[in-house]
Amino acid sequence: MTRAWLLLIGLSLISALTTIGGLSPKIAGLVILGLGLIKARVILSRYLGLAAAPGWLAGFFAVIGLWAILVGGLFLI
């Protein structure tokens, strides 16, 4: 649980640093969205315990992934 927490803190730090890294806004937005997907996977598997139920984990992550693709596509328009 501590490793998951540290990973989430690290990903949040990378997200914050992305905003001041000099990337174009579109690339920075997509990077932050991708980091959010990784964070969602950590939360689902570690905190909600779905690592013990891989089918449920895959289902939840598929839905979140599809939403992220939709949001990312709309962001690029």
What is the model's pLDDT at position 17?
Answer: 93
- pLDDT at res. 75: 93
In this predicted structure, what is the pLDDT of residue 58?
Answer: 95
pTM, two decimals, is: 0.86
Q: Note the Cα 32 to chain centre separation in Å.
A: 8
Q: What pLDDT score was predicted for residue 1?
A: 81
Per-residue pLDDT at 21:
79
**pLDDT < 70 positions in the chain:** none
pLDDT at site 57? 94
Tell me what pLDDT residue 22 has.
84
